[in-house]
Amino acid sequence: MTTDTAFTFGWETTAHFECRLQEMINQGSLTLMLSIGYRTGLFEVLGTLDAASCEEIAERAGLKPQYVKDWLEVMTTGGILEHDSLFQTYRLPAEQAALLLQRGRTHSYATSVQWVSLSGKLEDEIVTCFREGGPLPSDLFTQLQSQLAEDNSVSIMNGLFQHVLPLVPSLIMQLCEGRDVLDLGCGCGNTLIELARMFPASRFSGYDSSSTLIEKARRTAEEEQIENVTFIQRELSEIHAIDAFDLVTAFDVLQDQAQPFRILDQVLTALRPEGLFLMQDLARSRSREINLQNPLSTLMFSLSCLRSMVNAEQDQTADGSRWCQEIALQTLQEAGFTSIDVHTLPHDLVNDYYVARKPPRPVA
């Protein structure tokens, strides 16, 4: 027999969850508009103005006023912008600007919100994977990721120079002196081209399995007359190089590969003695409790779901676990790397950064 108390509690729970659903729908719509605001340059324009009308903001951004007006209304109702109804102006408060404008001071939230729109572009394919099995079209996923990287190239480079390269003392100085560098999963090459420009004494090679992205990278390097960078279409599990590189990087790559274990074996062989491997991977643990401590844990699990669909046949451990921090560390050790360190960085809440070395050549 159902008591009145239980019946009342059930209704209250339903009402509470309904409020949550309404909030999620509103926040999802706001997230999409945040992404649009970043990609169209509207936040950059607002960051240079104290208060401005819709027409002035649209003109500065080079956009159509009628669409900018609707966007401004969304930002106002979502609590992102302040609106002066008397003067009909809009203002981006300094507190919001500090987090939305990517100036190397904090986590790249603009990158995170764009993952929502990226996932939306793949929704039909994701539904098919749920019904029929994977994988997602890897080339499509790679191109969308590359577009994301292109949109955020300035932020990525800021993070690379301010946070990632300094993880290794003297690495920037070594690149200035001249080193051989291989980047795995280079995509359209923007990051590698910028590194080649900054370190003209070093030699850079980029491998990617996508012929479309490699061709785009080659064209860009040629147009910008960057001569110390080479792009090659190649499966990442087939590096086929021995003692050829001082530094190998793999940014946001290993968790998307069908054979990450084989790739790490190839990386070790390709490195010279005491060479360095620098890897960025999703900050996912075997432990659910550790994962939930991440303030962007829901985004992290969503990305993990997408990536598992790209490589439905990815190697797994004997207990069925997919690629995660614990497996990455174990595999690096088993491959023969030494001095393995894992870092979390303030500019990136959803990734871990690994620094590992190849042992020195044995003394005869």
- Residue 79: band (very low, low, confident or very high) from pLDDT cuts 50, 70, 90: very high
pLDDT at 302: 80
Q: Give the chain's mean pLDDT.
A: 85
Please state, in angstroms and as integers, the Cα–Cα distance from residue 233 to each residue in 26, 67, 227, 362, following that order: 43, 41, 18, 33
- Residue 149: band (very low, low, confident or very high) from pLDDT cuts 50, 70, 90: low
Note whether 80 and 36 are within 8 A (CB): no
pLDDT at 1: 47
Q: What angle is formed at CA 254 by the lines to CA 265 and CA 333, rounded to 5 degrees?
A: 45
- Residue 162: band (very low, low, confident or very high) from pLDDT cuts 50, 70, 90: confident
Cis peptide bond N-terminal to 260, omega within 30:
no
Position 203 pLDDT exceeds 90? yes
Higher pLDDT, 140 or 8: 140
Position 317 pLDDT exceeds 50? no
Note whether 163 and 347 are within 8 A (CB): yes
Q: Report which secondary-structure segment, H or E, holds 23.
A: helix 4-39
Note whether 285 and 324 are within 8 A (CB): yes
Position 269 pLDDT exceeds 70? yes
Identify the three-state secondary structure at position 113: helix
pLDDT at 319: 44
> 343-359 as b/e, with b when 16 or more CB fall inside 10 Å?
eebebbbbbbbbbbbbe
Position 96 pLDDT exceeds 80? yes
All structural domains of the chain? 4-100 (1.10.10.10), 109-357 (3.40.50.150)
What's the whole-model pTM score? 0.75
- Runs of H (alpha helix) within 152-296: 153-159, 171-177, 190-198, 211-223, 260-270, 288-292
Sequence-distant contacts of 84-92: CB under 8 A, at least 24 apart: 84/51, 87/51, 87/53, 88/53, 88/54, 89/51, 89/52, 89/53, 90/46, 90/51, 90/52, 90/53, 90/54, 90/57, 91/46, 91/49, 91/50, 91/51, 91/52, 92/43, 92/46, 92/47, 92/49
Please state, in angstroms and as integers, the Cα–Cα distance from residue 107 to each residue in 226, 248, 314, 315, following that order: 30, 25, 30, 31
Q: Lowest-pLDDT range, 12-16, 51-55, 81-85, 350-354?
A: 12-16
pLDDT at 48: 92
Higher pLDDT, 6 or 148: 148
Work out the average pLDDT over 241-254: 93
Position 118 pLDDT exceeds 50? yes
Phi, psi angles (nearest 5°) of residue 232: -130, 130
What sign has the CA pseudo-torsion 318, 323, 329, 332?
A: positive
pLDDT at 151: 58
Higher pLDDT, 16 or 4: 16
Position 109 pLDDT exceeds 90? no
User: For residues 356 and 332, what is the distance between their CA atoms, to the nearest angstrom?
Assistant: 8
Task: Work out the percent of the chain whose per-residue pLDDT is above 70.
Answer: 86
pLDDT at 145: 67
Work out the average pLDDT over 15-25: 91
pLDDT at 292: 85
Higher pLDDT, 253 or 105: 253
Position 316 pLDDT exceeds 60? no
User: For residues 141 and 122, what is the distance between their CA atoms, to the nearest angstrom?
Assistant: 8
Neighbour order of strands in the sheet with 338-345: 229-233, 203-208, 180-184, 245-251, 271-282, 348-357, 338-345
Q: Lowest-pLDDT range, 136-140, 151-155, 156-160?
A: 151-155
User: For residues 252 and 221, what is the distance between their CA atoms, to the nearest angstrom?
Assistant: 22
Note whether 241 and 311 are within 8 A (CB): no
